[in-house]
């Protein structure tokens, strides 16, 4: 039996290889994915907000992010913490923006599962870095 922890790790391993399909397949139809983000300098980042539904996640988050990157974000996992339906992933990520700037961020991703799929996800990241490196 695959655990929620194993599934979250698997989808981000595949994302690191440039394959987002396992992530998309793991999302519940009514996924709520939040990217934190208001900072004194940048305000709300172009990728911040809550995206509800798989298609909105693709159109409002994943496509715009992909368009700003020269290749996949490569994740290095530091730790997974799982309790019940919740899994927390602590990771570091490296990528390069289309302008050549490094995008090396730290992630704390909190995922809540229901019926074997990701129902809610919140990404805690350095939003100022998102703005300065990608936009």
Q: What is the pLDDT of residue 131?
A: 82
Read off the pLDDT of each residue in 87-94 and give the average, rounded to a whole number: 98
Total of domains in the chain: 1
DSSP-based helix, strand, coil % in the chain, nearest 5 = 30, 45, 25
Does the pLDDT value for residue 42 go beyond 50? Answer: no
**Domain CATH number, residue 67:** 3.10.450.50
Classify the C-alpha dihedral 118-119-125-127 as positive or negative.
Answer: positive
- Domain carrying residue 105: 4-134
Q: What is the mean pLDDT of the chain?
A: 91
Q: How many Å apart are CA 135 and CA 49, to the nearest integer?
A: 16
The tokens 């927390």 sit on which residue?
88
- Closest-CA residue to 121 (of 40, 3, 8): 8
């Amino acid at each position: 039996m695959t655990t929620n922890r194993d599934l979250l790790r698997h989808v981000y391993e595949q994302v690191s290889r440039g394959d987002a399909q396992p992530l998309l397949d793991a999302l519940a139809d009514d996924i709520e994915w939040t990217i934190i983000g208001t900072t004194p300098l940048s305000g709300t980042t172009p990728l911040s907000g809550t995206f509800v539904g798989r298609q909105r996640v693709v159109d409002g988050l994943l496509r715009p992010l992909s368009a700003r990157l020269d290749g996949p974000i490569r994740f290095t996992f530091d730790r997974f913490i799982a309790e019940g339906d919740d899994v927390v992933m602590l990771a570091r990520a490296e990528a390069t923006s289309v302008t050549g700037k490094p995008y090396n961020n730290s992630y704390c991703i909190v995922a809540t599962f229901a019926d074997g799929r990701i129902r809610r996800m919140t990404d805690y990241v350095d939003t100022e870095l998102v703005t300065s490196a990608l936009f």
